[in-house]
Each structure stands twice: as structure tokens, then as C-alpha cells.
A and B are shown apart, each in its own frame.
Chain A
Amino acid sequence: MDERRFKKRTIFLIVYLVFAILPVYWMVNMSFKTNEEILSTFSLWPQHFTTDHYRTIFTDESWYSGYINSLIYVAINTVISLGVALPAAYAFSRYSFLGDKHVFFWLLTNRMTPPAVFLLPFFQLYTTLGLMDTHIAVALAHLLFNVPLAVWILEGFMSGVPREIDETAYIDGYSFPRFFLTIYIPLIKAGVGVAAFFCFMFSWVELLMARTLTSVNAKPIVATMTRTVSAAGMDWGVLAAAGVLTIVPGAIVIYFVRNYIAKGFAMGRV
């Protein structure tokens, strides 16, 4: 009976994975076809295999600079998010203080603010500060949803570390910064990895704010792609190739943190 049960589960899993992979496969498939083939024939794999679309992206600056811009602001955002979230998460997990629960809830509400609500104010704010079309502007705007998430995840991990460790370190004469950097952070490596992964992911996939706050110099790849759809007609091949390339950084990151992801949620603020 167990055997049959096992098989049913496996079949369900395989069906789901096919459902999950097919749309991605279709894009990969298209990215290797010529534009004529994409539009004229329906084929399950490329009949005239070509890497021209990828060559276009890697040689045309308006394309590849998009990837570089995205990576820059995602990196800045991840660093700032973790930098401010680590001490705060420590405070939330270790101490009670005036209004701690309210501040925590307020942080969570920001995770749930629709970006569309803040588009115009952001535009005005960053124009006033002279930060429009810079990487730092997008990185700062993305703090809105990444900082609360990072605090949330890190707090869960930190609560899993026994408090005796802190006390022993203080008795041994460690100052707080030294204890925090040399003892505590290595203990919650996995949590930092998971939080970094989520910051990376949500900043990488966000379009609305990134597009509003940039025009040329810091234009992210996601925005470059939307313009191609509307302006240059339908260059489906290049679009598909660009889409495939946007998955690559995320796939690399998830491969490295795959073992932590499950753990991260299990220990989270449940």
C-alpha cells in the first residue's frame, strides 16, 4: 500500500514539475530560434539553432548595461538591508523595550504597502534630492519592503540561539560590537544567507519602482525589456534571450543557499 501511495505522490510531483518548467522551457526554446521561425512555425525545439539573440545582448551596451545596473542596485540594497536589519533583529530577539511590538508590526505593514501607492511621492522625493536615475535611489526605495523582511527572518534565526552565549561572552569581557561581529554573526550564518537571498530576490524581480526612478544611467534590465516590447515592435527572440538571462543570477544564488532555505522558514517567527 505504501508503494502505491509513494507512486501517486511521485506522479503528482512530476506533473507539477512539468507544469512549472514548461513555460520556462518555452522561453529558452524561443531564445535559440530565429525571429522568422518564432513567428512563422510552431516547433517544439529550434529548427534553425541560433545564438544571435544572446550575441546581441552581450554586445549591445543598452542591453548588457541593464544587467550591470540591476546587479549594482540589488547589491547596494542587500548590503544596506542586512547592515541595518542585523542589529535591529538582535534587539527584537533579545530585549523588551518601549513599543517593541508596535515597531515590529509597523515594519511588517511596510512589507505590505503596495508600491503603486508610493510611486509619485518617491518620484518627487528623489527628484528633490537630486538622486533620480542613480543606483542608490532604487536601492533606497527597495529598502521599503526588504528591511522589514530581513528583520523578520533574522529575528527568527536569532531567537534560536541560546542567550547563555551572549552572557558568557560579556563575562569574558567582550565589547558588544566585537562579540556581535566575531561570535554572533558566524553563529547565524545560515540566517544571514537566507535573508540575503530574499533581499536579492525581491529587489531583483521588482519592476515598478525601479522603472519609475531611473531613465538612462541606472536603467535596470527589467525596464529595458518593457521598452523593447512597446517600441521596437516584437523582437521576440532577443526578448526571450534577455528573459532567460534574468533567471541566471537568481538560479545561481538559490543553488548556493538551497540547504538554508528550508531551515530559515522552519526557525522563523512562527
Chain B
Amino acid sequence: MKPVNQKAWLLVVPVVLCVAFSAILPLMTVVNYSVQDIISPERRVFVGTEWFKAVMRDDDLIGALGRQMVFSLAVLAVEIPLGIALALAMPAKGWTSSAVLVLVAISLLIPWNVVGTIWQIYGRTDIGLMGAALAALGFDYSYTGNATHAWLTVLLMDVWHWTPLVALLCYAGLRAIPDAYYQAASIDGASKFAVFRYIQLPKLRGVLMIAVLLRFMDSFMIYTEPFVLTGGGPGNATTFLSQYLTQKAVGQFDLGPAAAFSLIYFLIILLLCFILYNWMQRVGTADKTEAGHG
């Protein structure tokens, strides 16, 4: 057990101050906006929960939320298994492991709007490799005109962009498994699948929880990449929550409703985050007692 020491708070104070400055102050401003009708900087009317009610009835918002949930779940369904498979396939030793690690990580280091720009070009049927290849294969591909194509392109872009994060996490988790486990398995004559199912997967549970948590939350906040690639269109096929919010707040300058929307958005993420975090903690502890190390 860790010793109790209230003086440790002194070490935490700088972090709390920093984050409070960039989190609590802005959050209070948002709360302040959400209950007022701001006609001009001088004329403000207190409207109570009116904006919240209006936002909850907003069909566009509910549409964006639905699209967001489907998108985030699709992201998890593709990226998690692919990331695990990739981590299993990555070499563990030698110069190839360094080379593969750097190559795999490259897409994580590209600024998000550059990611959008790359795919914007890449998907064009006249000058882009992917677009041209699809057109040559006889597909009538157009990410600007066809809603399904646009949605799939955004998903493919996200898979390209973020699967490496899952892969790196799992790769690290795999490296942490002691050789003794594999030796025991080979003495028992375990198949490759059995090794994966009964040794690797349970040992990866901890990092997988982090991967799921990070990917879910980050995909829930996706903004820049679809903004550059499709601008939310065609129609609103790729307008996700952040995009809709920014349109409202910056585009139409509807401060009150945008603030109410922000708070609801924040609460949704907070709730999901809380559930996942507690689940992660519980599974993590169960894993530790089972494996017998701390």
C-alpha cells in the first residue's frame, strides 16, 4: 500500500492549476452562455434551460449523434482486430523491427489536416492513386458525390491514420509477455491459436482496454480530417458531432444553443468515459490477480 501523505498535494497543485486554467475557466464560460440569449455583447437575457430543450429536439443534432455512434463503433470494429493482427505480425527483434516500427508509426505523426489533404488527393479519380485505381477497376467512385463512398473513405482514412496506435499498444503488450509462457505452451503442444487465445489475448487485455478507450473517445471527437476531406458532405453524410457543433458556434454564431450543445456533448463523453474507465480498472485488477504479479 502507498503511504498516506497529504503534502503530496503540493506536487499536484501545478498540474491542477494548469488544467484548471485551460479546462474549468472555459467550461464555466460555456455554462454561462448556455443559459443566456446573447443578442449583442451588452444585451443578454437569461433563458434558463430553454436552449437545452431546443437542442434535445434538434433533429440535425440527433442525426449527427447517430452517425457519430455508428462511425465510432465501425472504427472500433475494424481498427482493434486489425491492430492486434498487425502487432502479432510485426517482427520482435533485429533491424527489421525498428524499421517496421517507424514505418507503422508514420501516419500518427502527420498533422490531421494534412491527413485530410493527402486523402483528398489520393481519392481523386483524375490525379489520385486510389481514386484512379478504383475507377480503372470499373467502380463509379466519387467521395464528393456519393454519400456511401464519402463515408467509407472517411472510415478508411481513419483506419489508415489510427490503426498504428492500436498496433503499437498491442506490440508493447506482447513484448511484455515472459518467454516462460511460450515455453510452457510449446511443452504442452499448444496450437498457435491456443497460444493466442489463452496466453496472448489475456495478457493484452490491459493495453486493449486503453486502446479501446482512446480510439472510442478520439473518434468521437473527430473533426479535422473529415472537415478537410469532405467538409461534412455530400449532404451531411459525414457531418459528425464536432463538425456540427463548430458549424453552429462559429458558422452561425448561435452562442446559446452551441453552448448547450457543448455541455450535452461533454456529458455524453464524460458518461461513456466513466463507464469505460471503471470497466478498464476492474478488468485490469482481475487480470493482475490472475497473473499473480503487481
Write the residues of chain A forming the contact surface with B, with a CB cutoff of 8 angstroms.
5, 9-10, 12-13, 16-17, 19-24, 26-27, 30, 38-39, 42, 44, 80, 83-85, 87-88, 90-92, 94-98, 100, 103, 105, 107-122, 124-125, 140-141, 143-144, 147-148, 151, 201, 204-208, 221-222, 225-226, 229, 236, 239-240, 243, 246-247, 250-251, 253-255, 258-259, 261-266, 268, 270
Contact (Cβ within 8 A) A20 B102: no
Contact (Cβ within 8 A) B114 A243: yes
- For the A-B complex, the count of residue pairs with Cβ-Cβ distances under 8 Å equals 284
> In whole angstroms, how far apart are the Cα atoms of A120 and B257 in the complex?
13
Contact (Cβ within 8 A) B18 A84: yes
Give the most central of B21, B110, B122, B223: most A CB within 10 Å. B110
Flag whether B90 is at the interface (Cβ < 8 A): yes
Instruction: Report the nearest B residue to A244, measured CB to CB.
Output: B114
Contacts of A144 in B (CB 8 A): 19, 22-23
Flag whether B142 is at the interface (Cβ < 8 A): no
Flag whether B121 is at the interface (Cβ < 8 A): yes
> In whole angstroms, how far apart are the Cα atoms of A26 and B123 in the complex?
11
Contacts of B127 in A (CB 8 A): 30, 38-39, 42, 236
Contacts of B71 in A (CB 8 A): none
Contacts of B113 in A (CB 8 A): 207, 222, 225-226
Flag whether B129 is at the interface (Cβ < 8 A): yes
Tell me how far the C-beta of B14 lies from the nearest C-beta in chain A, rounded to whole angstroms: 4
Contacts A20-B160, A119-B250 given: A125-B25 contact, CB under 8 Å? yes
> In whole angstroms, how far apart are the Cα atoms of A125 and B277 in the complex?
31
Give the most central of A98, A207, A258: most B CB within 10 Å. A207
Contact (Cβ within 8 A) B22 A143: yes
Contacts of B176 in A (CB 8 A): 266
Contact (Cβ within 8 A) B118 A23: yes
Contact (Cβ within 8 A) B27 A121: yes
Contacts of B164 in A (CB 8 A): 20
Contact (Cβ within 8 A) A208 B224: yes
Which B residues between 240 and 259 are near A, CB-CB below 8 angstroms?
A: 241-243, 245-246, 249-250, 255, 258-259
Give the most central of B23, B114, B118: most A CB within 10 Å. B114
Contact (Cβ within 8 A) B223 A17: no
